[in-house]
Amino acid sequence: MTEIVLAHDYLVQVGGAERVVAEWAAGFEATRVVTLAYRPETTFDAFRDLDVRATIPPALSGQVERMLPALPAIAARTTVTGGDVALVSSSGWAHRFRFEIPHVVYVHSPARWLYAADDYRMRLSAIRRAGLTVSTPILRRGDAEAMARATAVIANSEVTRERIRAAYGLESAVVHPPVEPVATDAVAPARVIADAFAVVVARDRGYKNVPLAVDAARAAGLSIAVVGSGSESLDDPAAGVHGLGRVGDSELCWLYRNAEVVVGAGREDFGLTVLEAALEGTPAATVAAGGYLETVRPGVSGAHAASATVADLADAIRAARMSDPDEVRRWGRAFRRDAHVARINAVIGATSDRA
């Protein structure tokens, strides 16, 4: 059996990429993860049972996103060895590690801070934006050289494949992320939420466009639960907006099961949350862009908005609520972990045959 070592940018948050790595650990029976930083208290509990090897000391792990100028050098000194092949989860850093074994890079998105400046730099101070602008040509060159060293490159969606082609001039296979129920048991949040509500799951990133999701849900006559780091700032129960912040998987499972619809308003590379909700029978209403074109099938698992406006997204919410929960579940099951693992193994096998 092929021994797989996992690599990931940094394990300090609860997000779709981190959930993919957790599913890999189970699906490939991998026990070791190499990463830049690890904070057990702020990421998935599944990593506590693994051998996580982080380059950045624990005391600095919470500051990793502020260490951008130094991260290319730190990544280059992060060595991955042992095992037969490394399976690399990258949104900008892990493919830069120093690999002493063959490595297959699974790209969630080419680095937003290099190739989608409007998405990433809006969160930076003026000084940091200026510094990043000046250094971008050099950083892009090193980024491309690192990606070119991969034994094989996999995109998580068609839109990401196009971004890989544009950023690196490389071709890649498309393998959708693995989607499993987020929890077996559902536990209601301590907060009281209206009987009819929508849910949006997104960290505090401008490109997630949470305000549009909130306004559209309210226009469609629903309260909305907002889940993710930073969502507390949106909390306004009197207006039907419940900013819950980070929640546990059991609470997220309850929200998925009990919501009328999950809303996606941002520019997603894939859109994992809409499929997690689909496994619970809950349809999605999203903008018709990016990964949502692959993760939502109109008339089956939800609806797409005609445009990224409050009125059109509200119409999509109303249409999505007409979906058959059984059809929604069947759609979600097509993205389960076993299918994903089989496709990844096929890519790994093909690279071994060429070696």
CA 342 to chain centre: 20
Q: Are residues 52 and 115 in the same domain?
A: yes
pLDDT for 12-34, tens place per residue?
A: 998 889 999 999 999 999 999 99
Q: What pLDDT sits at residue 209?
A: 87
Q: What pLDDT sits at residue 122?
A: 46
Give the global pTM.
0.84
Cβ-contact 159, 291 below 8 angstroms: yes
Q: In this structure, what CATH number is given to the domain that contains residue 102?
A: 3.40.50
pLDDT for 97-143, tens place per residue?
A: 999 999 999 999 998 878 866 554 545 555 555 555 666 777 899 99
pLDDT for 221-275, tens place per residue?
A: 999 999 988 889 899 999 999 999 989 999 999 999 999 999 999 888 888 999 9
Strands 32-35 and 4-8: parallel
265: tokens are 């308003």
Nearest alpha-carbon partner for 34 in 26, 25, 44: 25
Which 3 state secondary structure label does DSSP give 160?
helix
* Structural domain total, the chain: 2
Q: Are residues 69 and 16 in the same domain?
A: yes
**Is residue 183 a part of any domain in this protein?**
no
pLDDT for 41-60, tens place per residue?
A: 999 999 999 999 999 999 99
Q: Are residues 224 and 348 in the same domain?
A: no
